[in-house]
Every structure is written in structure tokens, then in C-alpha cells.
Amino acid sequence: MESMKQYVTHLGWSDGQVVVRTLGSSRIDLKTPTGVSSLGSAEMLTYSQDAGSLALKVPKAPCAAPAYSFKLTFSGQIPKLK
């Protein structure tokens, strides 16, 4: 089965953690991702999800930019928003 990808763009960078409030478990079930990474990096990021958000554990900002993009890879169909 082909892997599917979803991208998230976040304005700014918080060393240590990026929080995406629109991807909380109350809106989307993210139990099936096979990987989360920052675009331009092969390093996989760890993440956690609660009812209100998806939190990505991130290293120090790779460069100074107004926005950063992250790739979520799924082993199958991308879950739909509730």
C-alpha cells in the first residue's frame, strides 16, 4: 500500500516543541502515522497528541525563517477531520 503524506506549516519556531492546535484528537485520529519530519531533514520527530493539539518535539531551529513545514506520513489513507 502506498504511503500518504500530509503537510503542516507552522509560523515561527519554539525550541523544544511545536504545538498544532487544529490536529487534536478531538478533531482527527492520528494513530496511524509512520513518521513525522521537518521538511528538508531526514530526522524523524517524536510527537504526542491529546484532545486539544498535536505536539511535535523539535530541536533548535534549523535556520531563521518566518514559517516551517512538517511532513506527516501515513501507511494508508490520511485520517479525515471530524
Kindly report, residue by residue over 63-75, the tens digit of the pLDDT: 788 888 999 888 7
With respect to residue 81, please indicate whether it lies within any of the assigned structural domains.
no
| Cα–Cα distance measured from residue 14 to residue 29, given in angstroms and rounded to the nearest whole number | 24
With respect to residue 15, please indicate whether it lies within any of the assigned structural domains.
yes
Look at residue 23 and give its three-state secondary structure.
Answer: helix
Structural domain for 43, as ranges: 4-74
How many domains would you assign to the chain? 1
Q: Half-sphere exposure (CA, 13 Å, Cβ side) for 9? A: 4
pLDDT band of 3, cuts 50, 70, 90 = confident
Quote the Cα angle for 2-45-38, to 5°: 75
pTM, rounded to two decimals: 0.79
* pLDDT at residue 49 tops 80: yes
Place of cell 525550541: 15
In this prediction, residue 69 carries a pLDDT of 92
Q: List the one residue out of 46, 28, 25 whose CA is nearest residue 6.
A: 28
